[in-house]
Amino acid sequence: MSEPIIKALDVAWIRLGAPDLDVAETFLTDFGLLRQVRTSDALYMRGTGEAHHLHITQRGPDRVLGIGFLAESEADLHRLAARAAGASGVMPLNEPGGGKVVRLKEHNGFTIEVVHGVASVAKLPERHSVMNTGAARERLGVFQRIDARPSQVKRMGHAVLSTPDIEASVAWAHRHLGFVVSEHVHAEDDPDLLLASFNRADRGDEFVDHHIMMFGRHQRAGLNHISYEVQDIDDLHAGHDWLKSQGHHHLWGIGRHLLGSQIFDYWKDPWGRVHEHWTDTDVLNAAMPARKVPRSQGLRSQWGPQAPQEFRDAASV
Ligand SMILES: [Fe+2]
């Protein structure tokens, strides 16, 4: 395999179009994001981490407009602009948070925004539950009380694309963003038929999330879902109850994935785009080779419900 042009550090944001910013903000606030900036035509939502924003909604048709990834340096943006087929030049991001961007088209034509130099902001206070488990008592003389409230999103975790030509999609992500395979899922009776590809950032010895970009084989190309990390399992359950109480569309959960091991919960926004909450991911580093597993040992929940067809068919464009 050819050397990657750059190694992207992390996922940065999703950029979606929506015809009504009030409706979008209501859903995203109930989901646990916080308004950073709202202009007359766009909404920028943050989490409790240092990223200026993790979610952008632009007023307009309900479209997937781009997935953002962080580059390590501005030099990486210039490398991509020079070497990636169809890349834009290095351009200023003329929006809150600033920074610079190179826009690429991935294999199915979705826009990938590789960014550097976007402003960071001060972290916000976070609520973490201290658990007394069978192994250790760590909450001593303190009552556990969970308010009725949205989750507290910390950061963006990953993006997942449905794609008919999964091999080409994976190759594109490896070549342009430097991702490496954590686990590949193949058909039960055909080890050469790739069904799903979980890819992480290549940061050497540093442990990173099990996947930052995943691909699932599907007849339609589209955004299957985007995913945000919440604080812990109490925070995830509190957020679930809150979203339900506000009448939002629940899709799948609560459960624990097999691959990646996250405790998950999936919701649709008012235009059907799937937004995931998760907590407690596996983290891997360069010492851990890619694994290959059959479908029965990959695409299932360890506990909680199995994926409904509506989730498997999600492919927003
Ligand atoms: Fe996910």
Per-residue pLDDT of the chain (317 residues; tens, 9 = 90+): 579 999 999 999 999 999 999 999 999 999 999 999 999 999 999 999 999 999 999 999 999 999 999 999 999 999 999 999 999 999 999 999 999 999 999 999 999 999 999 999 999 999 999 999 999 999 999 999 999 999 999 999 999 999 999 999 999 999 999 999 999 999 999 999 999 999 999 999 999 999 999 999 999 999 999 999 999 999 999 999 999 999 999 999 999 999 999 999 999 999 999 999 999 999 999 999 999 999 998 889 999 999 999 999 999 99
Q: Give dist(CA 259, CA 76) in Å, integer.
A: 31
Q: Distance between CA 65 and CA 212 in Å, rounded?
A: 18
β-bridge pairing 42-46 and 91-92 = unpaired
Q: CB neighbours (10 Å) of residue 15?
A: 20
Distance 51 CA to ligand 1 centre (A): 20
Which of 70, 76, 80 minimizes the C-alpha distance to 159? 70
Q: Which residue, among 161, 144, 181, has the nearest Cα to 284 in the 3D structure? A: 181
What are the tokens at 295?
A: 């479908």
Residues ≥6 apart with Cβ < 8 Å to 286? 202, 204, 205
Report the first-to-last Cα separation within the chain, whole angstroms. 30
Going from the Cα of 158 to the center of ligand 1, the distance in angstroms, rounded, reads: 7
- pLDDT score at 146: 95
CA distance 123 to 111: 29
CATH fold, domain 10-119+151-312, is: 2,3-Dihydroxybiphenyl 1,2-Dioxygenase; domain 1 (3.10.180)
Record the tokens describing residue 258, joined without a space. 């097999």
And the tokens for 188? 């039960």
Query: What pTM did the predictor assign?
Result: 0.97
pLDDT at 268: 98
Strand pairing report for 213-217 and 91-92: unpaired
HSE (side-chain half, CA atoms, 13 Å) at 309: 0
Q: How far is the CA of 217 from the centre of ligand 1 (A)?
A: 15
C-beta of residue 317 within 8 angstroms of C-beta of residue 221? yes
- The string over 129-159, giving b where at least 16 C-beta atoms fall within 10 Å of a residue's C-beta and e elsewhere, is eeeeeeeeeeeeeeeeeeeeebbbbbbbbbb
CA of 225 to the centre of ligand 1 (A): 7
Q: What pLDDT sits at residue 1?
A: 59
The rounded Å distance from CA 164 to ligand 1 centre is: 19
CA 226 to ligand 1 center in whole angstroms: 7
Q: What pLDDT score was predicted for residue 298?
A: 86
Other CB atoms within 10 Å distance of the CB of residue 25: 17
Q: From ligand 1's centre to the CA of 203, what distance in Å? A: 20
Strand partners, 45: 35, 55
Distance (angstroms) between ligand 1 centre and the Cα of 42 equals 25
**How far, in Å, from the CA of 173 to the mean position of ligand 1?**
17
Q: How far, in Å, are 114, 156, 209 from residue 278 at the CA level?
A: 24, 10, 12
**Which residue type sits at 30?**
D
Can you tell me whether residue 221 is helix, strand or coil? coil
* pLDDT at 192 (0 to 100): 94
The Å distance, Cα 81 to ligand 1 centre, comes to: 29
